C-alpha cells in the first residue's frame, strides 16, 4: 500500500484499495492520465481566465460560459486531455471511469 505522510489525494486502485498520496507524486510518476474518465472539474472545480471565461478546471477541458454574462456548472465532464495539464487542484479533483 502506498501512503504518503503529506497527502492531498485519495486514489483507489483497480482492486478497490485506497491509497493516500500527494498529487505532485502522481504527476511525477506519470499517473496523471485521465483521458476518457469522468471528472468533477466543471462541477466542483472552476477556472476563470482574464476575460472572465469560466472553464472546467485550469486544464480548460470545457468552456462553461462567461462569469459576467451567463454560465452554469457541468456535471458530466469527460476528460479530453492525455495528461492532467492543470495544477495540483485539478489533479485532486475526483475522477472515475464508471458512474458511482
User: What's the first-to-final CA gap in the chain, in angstroms?
Assistant: 23
Cβ density class 58-95: b for 16+ within 10 Å, e for less: bbbbbebeeeeeebeebeebebebeebbbebebbbbeb
Q: Are 93 and 44 in contact (CB under 8 A)?
A: yes
**Is pTM, for the whole model, over 0.85?**
no
Q: What is the pLDDT of residue 65?
A: 97
Residues in the chain where the model's pLDDT stays below 70: 1-4, 86-87, 99-100
Q: What is the pLDDT of residue 84?
A: 82
Q: Give the model confidence (pLDDT) of 71-83 as tens digits.
A: 999 988 899 988 8
Q: Are 32 and 83 in contact (CB under 8 A)?
A: yes
Q: Are 52 and 67 in contact (CB under 8 A)?
A: yes
Cβ contacts of 70 within 8 Å, gap of 6 or more: none
Amino acid at each position: 500500500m502506498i501512503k504518503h505522510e503529506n497527502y492531498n489525494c485519495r486514489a483507489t486502485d483497480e482492486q478497490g484499495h485506497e491509497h493516500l498520496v500527494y498529487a505532485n507524486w502522481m504527476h511525477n510518476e506519470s499517473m496523471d492520465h485521465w483521458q476518457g474518465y469522468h471528472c468533477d472539474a466543471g462541477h466542483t472545480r472552476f477556472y476563470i481566465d482574464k476575460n472572465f471565461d469560466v472553464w472546467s478546471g485550469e486544464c480548460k477541458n470545457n468552456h462553461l460560459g462567461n462569469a459576467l454574462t451567463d454560465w452554469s456548472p457541468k456535471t458530466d465532464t469527460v476528460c479530453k486531455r492525455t495528461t492532467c495539464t492543470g495544477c495540483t487542484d485539478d489533479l485532486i479533483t475526483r475522477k472515475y471511469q464508471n458512474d458511482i
